[in-house]
Amino acid sequence: MSGKKDGSHYKLKAMCCGKTLEDTGTLLSCPDCSEPHFLRADYAAVKLEAGPLEEGLYRFSDWLPIQRELKGSASPVTYKSEALAAELGLENLWITFNGWWPAKGAAMKTGTFKECEAYSVCARIPDHTGKVLVVASAGNTARAFIRVCSENNIPLVVVVPEDNLNALWSDEGRADCVKIVASASGSDYFDAIALSNKVCSGEQFYPEGGAKNPARRDGMGTTVLSAATEMGRLPDYYFQAVGSGTGAIAAWEAALRLEADGSYGANTMKLMVSQNEPFQIIYDSWKADSRPLVELDDDAAREQAHIINAKVLSNRKPPYSLPGGLYDALKATGGDVILADNEEAASAGALFLEKEGIDISPAAAVAVASLVKAVKAGRVETDAAIMLNITGGGMELFKKEHTTGPSKADLVFSADADAADVIEQVGKLF
């Protein structure tokens, strides 16, 4: 890592037209392109210089599109598995752990890799914009942004399904500049996104942007940077459970940068992503070899979202189809999508706790289950270099060591709430 960053170490490239753009800190698309597309950060540093673990997420600041550094961040931690690897008969299994596990040096207090995106996104935003950041979430992202924005006094509205409020636990509460808005009980993540769009139609607010925000993707891509710098090479396989697939897209983009670096070997990394059955729109679309997402009835999607234990994996409109999205990432890497149901995931989570000694989130358990199934099916070589991205863990340990409490919504809206009324009511919170 070469010094603190002020935004001069990168520019943005529009993947639609190839134009190079100066970043405003909140730019999400090329002003000259109307088709859906990504902006990708183009860094001055071709070779990655990672700092020590003590620098938190910003140890990878050479490859983060940030304009400042915030307090409180932590880095993903990668280590070579022994017990789980032996159980599965794997010789070269590496676990990238995102969460709370002080014995391993993992210090994410929200227990999720969503901190990687939150500390990156918020550090990209210029100080004192005069507006309020809006983030839609199924739970984990909201919990991470609440902590980051509370610690760093960044005005924020998080929008979540009311039924997922239990995911917004905290040991420190939240600052007055952070507000929680919920879509009424019975809604899902897609409904929360729709509500957040209504909020963002007010001039006082601006959207975080989800997968379209290059800071979100590159923040999540630090999981692969952690793995590669620890392994000394790129993995052959990358296992992760996905809801939107943004983390897998980020992993692909990070692998492309590491390949260009030249220090980590050939880029043979296959994306092996998984979904929690029966919420499987990505799986169904991929198995149909369809770039457009297959049709999914709204009521059926809400029912499926309530069935699965990994609630955060329930995105009805993932960034799958657009150029540079998950479909392209899977095609480019020769990857695949695997299903795991609640029972398989619970069994895999218990196995991870037994063998590795730490609790993991339901979403991470889906990823472990997909690895178990792939091994049993002979789909990965026993000597392959495998990266298992544990996207959340140590939450039970954290709660044992800290006093935590729930969060309550400041406002709750029905799905048919009038946009003008939403803007007015949310605006009065600030």
Supply the pLDDT for residue 138. Answer: 87
What six digits make up the tokens of 312?
């955060």
Using CA atoms, how far apart are residues 74 and 55, in angstroms rounded to an integer? 8
309-355 pLDDT, tens digit each = 999 999 999 999 999 999 999 999 999 999 999 999 999 999 999 99
Supply the pLDDT for residue 176. Answer: 96
41-77 pLDDT, tens digit each = 999 999 999 999 999 999 999 999 999 999 999 999 9
Pairing label, strands 93-101, 386-393: parallel
Most confidently modeled range among 4-8, 224-228, 413-417: 224-228
**Three-state secondary structure readout of the chain:** CCCCCCCCCEEEEECCCCCEECCCCCCCCCCCCCCCCCEEEEECCCCCCCCCHHHHHHHHHHHCCCCCCCCCCCCCEEEECCHHHHHHCCCCEEEEEEEEEHHHCEECCCCECHHHHHHHHHHHCCCCCCCEEEEECCCHHHHHHHHHHHHHCCCEEEEEEHHHHHHCCECCCCCCCEEEEEECCCCCHHHHHHHHHHHHCCCCEEECCHHHCHHHHHHHCHHHHHHHHHHCCCCCEEEEECCCCHHHHHHHHHHHHHHHHCCCCCCCCEEEEEEECCCCHHHHHHHCCCCCCCCCCHHHHHHHHHHCCCHHHCCCCCCCCCCCCHHHHHHHHCCEEEEECHHHHHHHHHHHHHHHCCCECHHHHHHHHHHHHHHHCCCCCCCCCEEEEEEEECHHHHHHHCCCECCCCCEEECCCCCHHHHHHHHHCCC
Supply the pLDDT for residue 7. Answer: 87
Supply the pLDDT for residue 70. Answer: 96
Q: Does domain 77-112+215-399 have CATH number 3.40.50.1100?
A: yes
Supply the pLDDT for residue 267. Answer: 87
Using CA atoms, how far apart are residues 284 and 175, in angstroms rounded to an integer? 41
Average pLDDT value for residue range 364-368: 98
Q: What angle do CA 114, 119, 121 make, to 5 degrees?
A: 90
pLDDT score of 128 more than 90 = no
Q: If pLDDT is split at 50, 70 and 90, which confidence band does 1 have?
A: low
Residues 105, 77: contact at Cβ < 8 Å? yes
Average pLDDT value for residue range 405-417: 94
Using CA atoms, how far apart are residues 77 and 69, in angstroms rounded to an integer? 20
**How confident is the prediction for the chain on average, in pLDDT?**
96
Percent of the chain with pLDDT over 70: 99
Supply the pLDDT for residue 220. Answer: 98
pLDDT score of 381 more than 60 = yes
What six digits make up the tokens of 153?
């006094």
Supply the pLDDT for residue 5. Answer: 86
Using CA atoms, how far apart are residues 22 and 182, in angstroms rounded to an integer? 35
AA identity, residue 43: Y
pLDDT score of 20 more than 90 = yes
Domain map (residue ranges) of the chain? 77-112+215-399
Look up the pTM and report it.
0.95
Supply the pLDDT for residue 2. Answer: 55
Supply the pLDDT for residue 4. Answer: 78
Residue with tokens 């990687």: 116
| Greater model confidence, 6 or 177 | 177
Residues 105, 46: contact at Cβ < 8 Å? no
Percent of the chain with pLDDT over 90: 95
